[in-house]
Chain A
Amino acid sequence: MKALDRKLWRDLLHLRGQVIAIILIVACGITGLVTLMSAYDSLKLSQATYYSQYRFADVFVSLKRAPEAIALQLAEISGVSQLQTRVVVDVTLDIPDRHEPATGRIISIPEQPQPMLNDLFLREGRYIEAGRRDEVLISEAFANANHLTLGDRVGAVINGRWQTLQIVGLALSPEYVYEIRGTDLVPDNQRFGVIWMGREALAAAFDMQGAFNDLTLSLTPHANAPEVLFQLDQSLERYGGLGAYDRDQQLSHRFLTDEIDQLQVTAVFLPSIFLGIAAFLLNIVLSRIISTQRDQIAVLKAFGYSNSAVGLHYFKLVLGVTLLGAAIGTGLGLWFGSSITQYYTNFFQFPILRYEAGAGLILTTLGVSLGAALLGAFTAVRRAIALPPAEAMRPEAPPQFRPTLIERWGLQRLFPASGRIILRNLERKPIQALLSVLGIALAIAILMVGRYMGDAVLYIIDVQFRQVQREDVTLVFNEPRPARARYALNHLPGVLQAEPFRSVAARLRYEHRTHRTGLMGLEPQGELRHLVDRQLRPVQLPPSGVLLTATLGRMLGVEPGDRLTVEVLEGDRSIHQVEVMGLVDEFIGVAAYMDIQALNQLMREGQTISGAYLAVDRHALDHLYEQVKNTPAIASMAMRQTTIDQFEDTIAASLGIFTGVLVIFACVIAFGVVYNAARIALSERGRELATLRIIGFSRGEIALILLGEQALLTLVAIPVGLAIGLGLAALLASTYDSELYRLPFVVNRATYLFAAGVVLIATVLSGWLIRRQLNQLDLIAVLKTRE
């Protein structure tokens, strides 16, 4: 090792406290970067490979019933590449050893395996055998959640009759990477699963022989997608088409793509904060080293070391710190990344979710760390280079002080001498003080963001599942029923109250914007489903007209008072003008609500219902389940409490980890910033403080002068950090504002206290460490040594 490199190494050892603090910050940033980027790469690549190898379709449409022959015409539409007709039905399932009924989505597959759109990956078992009508493949996630294995049998209500299906294979489909039904947010693999069944058997059971009720197709590379959708809708209108949509509206694809996009955003955002702070700390540490080593720089130059050799020497120091941090961060990041990717298999069903961390990622990491190092080293190293050797030999000119603003205002009487020293120091290095404040503030902001997510989720659960959805159970019939069916529901075991609803598939249109959704008819005096506005005030359902969720209103660009065009996609497919009477606020999905009678009138039908919300006696649930399983007219049943549990289990668990990691990260930042700033102040002002001690200041008083500066900075940083945190939370709330769900902008008081408290503790802790070093200040030695 060269002598100069030895010096470098020993300098690093000497500064180990500060160096470790910076290494940790770099490591946090790089950990975040590697974790998120590798998870991003892994998901993105898995998605792309899966989609292309298993021919994920581009366009999807459901309809009532169309003759198979029409498929040939549809295939002629310009831009259509491959087309596949299917029969798709939702049925109630009876899983052995499980009381609650589950919903199965049965999708038809060819009798013989053949390449098809949304092709199946067979994880276990075999394909169905032609002619064996009871053989099915079921989704792997559903099978695992319900402990089903090959050869097991499940009961299903198929066309009004119980039938037993035998599992011969476990499969996955690119169409159900996120296996979710309706407006759920997280998959409930116990209660919802996809089942693939031979086309003939399924068609026979549902009177679909020579016909289909679902269609998927792929597009040619340069197809005009909107035009294809339009023509499909036109052709399928008379067959009860429910509106064609492309991948952007496909539920599984949207969730997966949202997740991937968010990973990418976070992967840029989070590490930037850390590396920015690391660069700032490197800069102040290096500046300090360079000013204490003025004479050493001079000697090196005097003996003929070139400017670039001296510059490189100090840059290496920064590089060493950064690369060490990057190495730790990369190691941790790869570990976290593979854990996170593993964790994603809880939500996303891929044949293989391979963990991807390629050379590209490592190069990016290197580049980013190098960038941070350069950013941090630039001004300080430039100063070392610019230092003329002869000048370097002389002690540094005393720093220039001037009366602070406060003194110029004549307020100095309010401050003791120590206070004035603190203020003058801060004012002399305003940029450094500003960056310190910013660093601490960002730590607070990060903490707030972590807690905000939890606050928002709690709020969603409270509003959506306790104030809006008050029912215990939602039942959906397999087809619309006369309103008197509600009385039958009242007689189901344990039912305390039943409120029917009518749900009609429709396309809402305003100007050029359209959205396909269900029109939901509710009883205006109902108690099980409340509509609320943003302030959670109840909204009364008007006798005519429609209420939209705010998200839907924004998507369509309508305001209360505007008239929407409603194209009903069922029955006589009539088209109506309906006035928007107001907006309601919900966090999950989008919806349009009407008075159930008004909706019946709009449909020109008698009193008709699609299902009902039930309040039930918990103790009678098992009887209810039993009865529901034996009622073929009931297509699906959803329990509010299981939805809440599922939501809390999955989201809260991952949020817990997320918040925990952010707390560690934020503490590292707060500690790193405060400790470094105070440590440097101690080395810069050791003489000054020793002098004060000698002239009679107590340890406490000099500690106050040194640490008071940091305390003041932290106090200033707290409101700044809370404000930044609030801004970031607002930013997140607006980012997570999609058709699928949105995050409310609510920050609990506890979150403010938590964020400020954690940072204060980190500050006190680093102050305590510095205070210990201050107590060891050797008065005589400090005065003897030449600065």
Chain B
Amino acid sequence: MGHPQKQPLHASAQVSPSSEVFHIQDVSKTYHMGEVEVRALQQVTLNLYEGEFVVLLGPSGSGKSTLLNILGGLDLPSSGQVWFRNRNLATATDAMLTRFRRESVGFIFQFYNLIPSLTARENVALVTEIAAHPFSPEEALQRVGLGDRLDHFPAQLSGGEQQRVAIARAIAKRPEVLLCDEPTGALDVQTGKLVLDALAQTNRDLGTTTAVITHNASIAAMADRVISMRSGQIASIHVNETKVSPAELEW
């Protein structure tokens, strides 16, 4: 498997990170929803680097979620290449994608997607049971400040707490990348900041490459890089010279 030739990408190469985690090249995605055909991504090329915190910004329908799904091995591109380290995800089999997700990726979703019939601890255990070197569910929940709500069911937790359980679930396996789809989309400002703080802290402490999708431009200030998308394409990439802590964000 040969390594593809890489094009230096805009100014982003000057960000300190050591090496690429993702390299995607000319990725397009078209899918069908009922009888409607949606062209979600068109010829997207992008690199993500180790340890960086990236915010993907764009209005709904701009293709951010599709891009994230493809990065996370949830979906395959219609065309183009997706490299994770030296693995080509675009041509991976279902079993390979499953292993990739199991070993390397943590997901966080807008609507938390906790299993309602399982407690916080059990939701995290769902992941730790199949991971190689996980935190214990308790430790993962401690890290997001929920050490005292281990045995609560999702319905007994506030939205912010539910999202922090989801973060605990995502980081419990010590993933290489953390992919977050509108993690604060369903939360109020204060709770949202709490959640973002948990993400920033994980990124800082564990060095996990983190990509956050949002249509909330004010979150962009806490990122290393901000990638703006529109109509299935990358509109611009902006590097933050100084990152703002989540507590200082305003929206």
Contact = CB atoms under 8 A, between A and B. Distances in A.
Interface of A: 2-4, 6-7, 10-11, 14, 295-296, 298-307, 309, 388-391, 393-394, 397-398, 400, 786
Contact of A298 (B103, B113, B122, B125): B113
A10 B117 CA distance: 6
B229 to A, nearest CB: 17
Contact of A398 (B34, B106, B118): B34
A434 B131 CA distance: 45
B115 A303 contact: no
Nearest to A309: B130
A390 B69 contact: yes
Nearest to B99: A304
A300 B75 contact: no
B125 A3 contact: yes
B98 A306 contact: yes
13 contacts: A2-B129, A7-B122, A14-B117, A302-B101, A303-B106, A303-B130, A304-B103, A304-B105, A388-B74, A390-B74, A390-B75, A393-B69, A394-B33
Contacts of B72: 302
B115 A7 contact: yes
Nearest to B186: A786
Contacts of A390: 66, 69, 74-75
A391 B38 CA distance: 13
B122 A3 contact: yes
Contacts of B107: 299, 302-303
Interface of B: 31, 33-35, 66, 69, 72, 74-75, 94-95, 98-103, 105-107, 109, 111, 113-115, 117-118, 122-123, 125-127, 129-131, 169, 173
B126 A304 contact: no
Nearest to B70: A390
Given A3-B118, A295-B111, A393-B109, A307 B94 contact: yes
A309 B95 CA distance: 12
A300 B126 contact: yes
Contacts of A10: 117-118
B33 A299 contact: no
Given A304-B130, A390-B75, A397-B33, A296 B113 contact: yes
Contacts of A6: 117-118, 122
Q: Which secondary structure characterizes the binding site on chain B?
A: mixed
A3 B113 contact: no
Contacts of A2: 125, 129
Q: Which secondary structure characterizes the binding site on chain A?
A: helix
A400 B115 contact: no
A-B pairs, top 3 by smallest CB distance, nearest first, are: A304-B102, A10-B117, A390-B75
Given A3-B123, A398-B34, A786-B111, 19 more contacts: A3-B118, A7-B115, A7-B122, A295-B111, A296-B113, A296-B115, A301-B98, A301-B101, A302-B72, A302-B74, A303-B102, A304-B102, A304-B127, A307-B94, A307-B98, A389-B101, A393-B74, A397-B34, A400-B34
Contacts of B173: 303
For A3, A4, A296, A300, the residue with the greatest tally of chain B CB atoms inside 10 Å of its CB is A3
Contact of A295 (B34, B69, B113): B113
Contacts of A302: 72, 74, 101, 105, 107
Given A3-B122, A4-B126, A393-B69, A299 B115 contact: yes
B187 to A, nearest CB: 15
A10 B131 CA distance: 24
A309 B99 CA distance: 13
Contacts of A307: 94, 98
A301 B118 CA distance: 17
Contact of B117 (A11, A393, A397): A11
Contacts of A309: 130
Contacts of A400: 34-35
Nearest to A392: B74
B82 to A, nearest CB: 13
Contacts of A299: 107, 109, 113-115
A388 B129 CA distance: 22
B91 to A, nearest CB: 16
A309 B117 CA distance: 18
Contacts of B129: 2-4
A216 B220 CA distance: 103
A681 to B, nearest CB: 21
A665 B103 CA distance: 51
A7 B130 contact: no
Nearest to A388: B75
For B101, B105, B111, B169, the residue with the greatest tally of chain A CB atoms inside 10 Å of its CB is B101
B106 to A, nearest CB: 8
Nearest to A13: B117
Given A302-B101, A303-B169, A389 B75 contact: yes
For B95, B99, B126, the residue with the greatest tally of chain A CB atoms inside 10 Å of its CB is B126
